[in-house]
């Protein structure tokens, strides 16, 4: 498995949805490729932070966040 292929299978790997042969190949690549291990760790941290970012809709928004961005996010949520 190449680094590019690893990235293509990342979501399925995290969802534990890779077939056994691909999972074995994926994990074998990780044993040989420290940059991909770092990439995977960063990906996992991003998911974790994303899930925790807006758990409480009443949380205050940091003053450094542009008002335009806050309005755009709220508008997008309202359209759902």
* DSSP per residue, 25-77: HHHHHHHH-HHHHHHHHHHHHHHHHHHHHTS-TTSPPPTTS-HHHHHHHHHHH
Tell me what pLDDT residue 57 has: 66
Instruction: Write the Ramachandran bin of 16: left for phi over 0, alpha for psi from -120 to 50, otherwise beta.
Output: left
The residue range of the domain holding 28 is 3-79
Q: Give residue-wise pLDDT tens across range 2-55.
A: 999 999 999 999 999 999 999 999 999 999 999 999 999 999 999 888 777 766
Q: Is the pLDDT of residue 80 over 80?
A: no
Q: What is the CATH number of the domain that holds 9?
A: 1.10.10
> How many domains does one find in the chain?
1
Tell me what pLDDT residue 54 has: 65
pTM for this entry = 0.65
């Amino acid at each position: 498995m190449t680094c590019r292929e690893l990235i293509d299978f990342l979501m399925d790997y995290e969802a534990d949805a890779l077939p056994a042969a691909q999972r074995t190949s994926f994990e074998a690549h990780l044993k040989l490729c420290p940059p991909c291990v770092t990439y995977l760790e960063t990906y996992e941290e991003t998911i974790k932070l994303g899930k925790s970012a807006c758990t409480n809709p009443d949380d205050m928004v940091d003053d450094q966040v542009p008002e335009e961005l806050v309005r755009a996010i709220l508008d997008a949520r309202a359209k759902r």
